[in-house]
Amino acid sequence: MTAYEPTDAQGVAYDAVVLAGGAARRLGGVDKPGVRVGGRPLLDRVLAACADARTSVVVAEPRATARPVTWAREDPPGGGPLAALGAGLRHTTAESVVVLSADLPFLDEGTVQRLLAALRTGDADGALLTDAEGRDQPLVAAYRASALRHGLDALAHEHDGLTGLPLRRLTGALDLTRVPDPVASFDCDTWDDIATARARIREHGHVLDEWISAVKDELGIDLDVDTKLLLDLARDAAHGVARPAAPLTTFLVGYAAAQAAQAAQAQGGQSGPEAVAEASRKAAALALRWAEEAAAAKSEAAPDATPDARPDAG
């Protein structure tokens, strides 16, 4: 592993396999990975949760995604989750592999890191989430790749292939650690599930983060956004200058930060977040000076400073 390879929060490289080729019969056969929740396809939401994977493999027919991935397909297509997992696993090299379904609207990077930490700190073959009813969710899990390969090889030898075999034939023989999480384990199997997910992300406390993530994906931006910093800047511009100054200032800050980061990249200078912070600091200081100047002008104006326009004045 080189110093430039993506790693998890503990510096350990991992790969991700996302199974996205199911028939979605309970959704009437619709393209479930492409269903949008919070403005983003479900598949893109899952890929964002494992953005620091060294390799992200999606087992499905290729499509446009917000992040670069490696595509794989089981043979024959539609051969079931074990066949799909085997096809995806062939494109991985890390010993830790996160295995995910493509219909998890609330999965985030923190949950992926918890699964990897649970795997790393124990001797089990894998760590998986359990849902609100305590049921295992083997497609929201981190596994040791060697354990998966051993189990898949044994099943393929016993059944002359993996097509049509249920996932529990593999996971039932593994030693697994359970990590309860009723939110991140929520998957979208029905239209009611989709409606629940869409409603939840619009709850107060979620909507702003969801909106920012959707905009970043739409614009192809991979940048940590300091929301409070930018909101404070917008407030200062609105109060110190004029309300329309808020969106215009934040736009100009983003433009300036992009230019600064691009210019400094070749010289190992500021990163994107650092450039945004510096540009925001300068703009906020300008807004403060502007407001102070306006306040000083008002306080210094004499009560009779307005010219007397009476006919006999002067």
Instruction: For residues 135 and 262, state if they share a domain.
Output: no
Instruction: For residues 178 and 233, state if they share a domain.
Output: no
Return the pLDDT at 127: 97
Query: Final residue of a domain: which of 169, 200, 231?
Result: 200
Instruction: For residues 177 and 236, state if they share a domain.
Output: no
Q: Is the pLDDT of residue 113 over 60?
A: yes
pLDDT digits (tens, 9 = 90+) for 62-103: 999 989 999 999 988 889 999 999 999 999 999 999 999 999
Of all residues in the chain, the percent with pLDDT exceeding 90 is 51
Query: Final residue of a domain: which of 143, 166, 200?
Result: 200
Inside any domain, residue 68? yes
pLDDT digits (tens, 9 = 90+) for 132-188: 999 999 999 999 999 999 999 999 999 999 999 999 999 999 999 999 999 999 999
Residue 189, domain extent: 15-200
Inside any domain, residue 228? yes
Inside any domain, residue 122? yes
Instruction: For residues 41 and 131, state if they share a domain.
Output: yes
Inside any domain, residue 305? no
Instruction: For residues 227 and 184, state if they share a domain.
Output: no
Instruction: For residues 128 and 235, state if they share a domain.
Output: no
How many folded domains does the chain comprise? 2
Q: What is the CATH number of the domain that holds 39?
A: 3.90.550.10
Instruction: For residues 255 and 183, state if they share a domain.
Output: no
Inside any domain, residue 233? yes
- Across 73-77, 196-200, 221-225, least confident range: 221-225
Q: When comparing pLDDT for 42 and 265, which is higher?
A: 42
Q: Is the pLDDT of residue 302 over 90?
A: no
At 3, the pLDDT band (50, 70, 90 cuts) reads very low
Query: Final residue of a domain: which of 166, 200, 234?
Result: 200
Instruction: For residues 195 and 283, state if they share a domain.
Output: no
The chain-wide mean pLDDT, for the chain, equals 86
> Number of C-alpha atoms within 13 angstroms, CB side, residue 207?
4
Inside any domain, residue 314? no
Instruction: For residues 49 and 195, state if they share a domain.
Output: yes
Q: Is the pLDDT of residue 4 over 50?
A: no
Return the pLDDT at 95: 96
Inside any domain, residue 270? yes
Q: When comparing pLDDT for 7 and 261, which is higher?
A: 261
Relative orientation angle of helices 245-265 and 227-240, to the nearest 10 degrees: 130
Instruction: For residues 25 and 138, state if they share a domain.
Output: yes
Inside any domain, residue 2? no
pLDDT, mean of residues 14-43:
88
At 128, the pLDDT band (50, 70, 90 cuts) reads very high
Return the pLDDT at 45: 94
Instruction: For residues 230 and 291, state if they share a domain.
Output: yes
Instruction: For residues 152 and 59, state if they share a domain.
Output: yes
Q: Cα-flanking dihedrals φ and ψ of residue 100, to 5°? A: -135, 150
